[in-house]
Structure 1
Amino acid sequence: MSDDRNAAAPAGRRERKKAATRQAIADAALRLFLERGYDDVGIREIADAADVSTTTLFKHFSGKESLVFDRQDEMKALQLAAVRERPEGQSIPAALREHALRHRRLRPGDEPGVAAFLELVNSTPALLDYQHATWLENTAALAQVIAEESGLPADDPACTALAHFALEAPRAARRHHDSTEALHRAFDLLDHGWQSIASPA
């Protein structure tokens, strides 16, 4: 048994070290992007600022855009959890609406640095496109959870449609002057349509 404990400890330290390295790279990248602009910072500069090699950087991140959205996987997991763990009686679109309002629409006063981060993303077309494309990658996983929670077949196109439009809603709402109201309007439509086809949960 002692051998098992000894083997587990280094593995835990390795994971913590990997997480710390990843965070250091993401922090260095964001700091440089905010100081000089996304287009004026190179990968090698980011690696140097984080005191790692470019090879190490690419072990943690797929490319320059992914350095900005280092929490994307966490956000996707939170969205799935919002559907699975919604209160009894709450519809799936209502749970997705709540998640969108809480996690997708950051406000400048929510935490330090948010205003600058939003300005960086919103002023950089490459980042907006990357954010949208990677967010839509959650469509299949979200559709599967929707099917499981609603009692519909796994390949029901209604589940895929709801997942897709729920993921699209924040981007569509962003184009409107009152984005909160626009988001509510979008999810009102999804909720009303979903209720007409979904079997009881």
Structure 2
Amino acid sequence: MIANDGRRERKKAQTRARIQDAALDLFAGQGYRETTIAQIAARADVATRTVTLHFPAKEDLLFADDPFTPESLAARLRDRQPESTLDAVREWMHATMRELDERDRATGVDPAHLWQRRALRADLLMADDDLRGRARAGYRDLELLIAEAIGEDLGLPTDALLPRLAAVTVVTGLREIYVTREGRARTAASELAGLVDEVLAFAKAGLRTAPA
């Protein structure tokens, strides 16, 4: 029974990934709004109902299963002492990226595929006002977590300007990596990690030079 359950879950995950890949290809080729669920189902070789069972809303094809979750960041920030918040965020990003690469290698998938898909997804989000707005709202929880933790580091309330400004800088910078010239040229976690470090270093410099 346990073995059967494991196979069932792997098959389910493979189907989800195939549907998302099909959706991204179609969105990129003919536009997000012009693509129908029926077209996605045909490209993924599944029934239309299978697509909607996995992704009830069309937007979910772009926003579901993001590995950089507020829950995992919150857990990392709770354990950050004696690290600073920005050091903890850096390690959280690096660890999550390594885990994603290791997962793909274990299943025989080229790790570069994930990072190429994330770059394609970022382009699609930037090109559509509604999708860009939802993406911005989705990053809100990450910003609030980082702002609260930076406030604790500095002895400031969460809604003080400096923690909020630093948090927005970090989250925006990490999001922008995928649509930059540098980000497009890198397709491995080890390469993208250097850009993560640049974002965190920029935010650190801002905190160091801010008025007391």
TM-score range, shorter chain: 0.5 to 0.7
* One of 24, 49, 52 as aligned partner of 1:30: 24
Identity %: 30
Q: Which amino acid is 2:27 matched to?
A: F
Matched, 1:119 2:123: yes
Q: Contact 1:61–1:67 at 8 Å: present in 2 too? A: yes
Partner of 1:130: 134
Distance in 2 between residues matched to 1:95 and 1:80, nearest whole Å = 10
Could you give the per-residue CA deviations for residues 17-50 of structure 1, whole angstroms, max 9, x where no partner exists?
Answer: 2211111111110111122122221122112222
Q: Contact 2:86–2:200 at 8 Å: present in 1 too? A: no
Partner of 1:3: none
Distance in 2 between residues matched to 1:132 and 1:95, nearest whole Å = 22
Distance in 2 between residues matched to 1:160 and 1:44, nearest whole Å = 48
SS at match of 1:83: helix
* One of 68, 71, 85 as aligned partner of 1:75: 68
Q: Which amino acid is 2:123 matched to?
A: E
SS at match of 1:28: helix
Compared CA separation, residues 164 and 136, structure 1 to 2 (3 A): farther
Q: Which amino acid is 1:158 matched to?
A: T
Partner of 1:158: 158
Offset at residue 82 of structure 1 (A): 4.7
Distance in 2 between residues matched to 1:11 and 1:135, nearest whole Å = 33
TM-score normalised by the chain length of structure 2: 0.56
Could you give the per-residue CA deviations for residues 98-139 of structure 1, whole angstroms, max 9, x where no partner exists?
Answer: 6569989xxxxx946355444333222233222222222456
SS at match of 1:41: coil
Compared CA separation, residues 99 and 187, structure 1 to 2 (3 A): farther
* One of 7, 23, 26 as aligned partner of 1:13: 7
Q: Which runs of 5+ in 1 are unaligned?
A: 1-5, 105-109, 197-201
Compared CA separation, residues 17 and 184, structure 1 to 2 (3 A): same
Q: Contact 2:166–2:206 at 8 Å: present in 1 too? A: no
Q: Contact 1:25–1:57 at 8 Å: present in 2 too? A: yes
Distance in 1 between residues matched to 2:56 and 2:160, nearest whole Å = 27
Q: Contact 2:32–2:124 at 8 Å: present in 1 too? A: yes
* Structure exhibiting the larger radius of gyration computed from Cα positions: 1
Q: Which amino acid is 1:45 matched to?
A: Q
Q: Contact 2:169–2:203 at 8 Å: present in 1 too? A: no
SS at match of 1:63: coil
Partner of 1:95: 88
Distance in 1 between residues matched to 2:160 and 2:4, nearest whole Å = 42
Partner of 2:106: none
Partner of 1:46: 40
Report how many aligned residue pairs link the two structures: 171
Could you give the per-residue CA deviations for residues 68-118 of structure 1, whole angstroms, max 9, x where no partner exists?
Answer: 23441x1115534653565x74201232256569989xxxxx946355444
Q: Which runs of 5+ in 2 are unaligned?
A: 98-110, 183-194
How big is the alpha-carbon RMSD for the aligned residues of Structure 1 and Structure 2?
4.4
Offset at residue 58 of structure 1 (A): 2.6
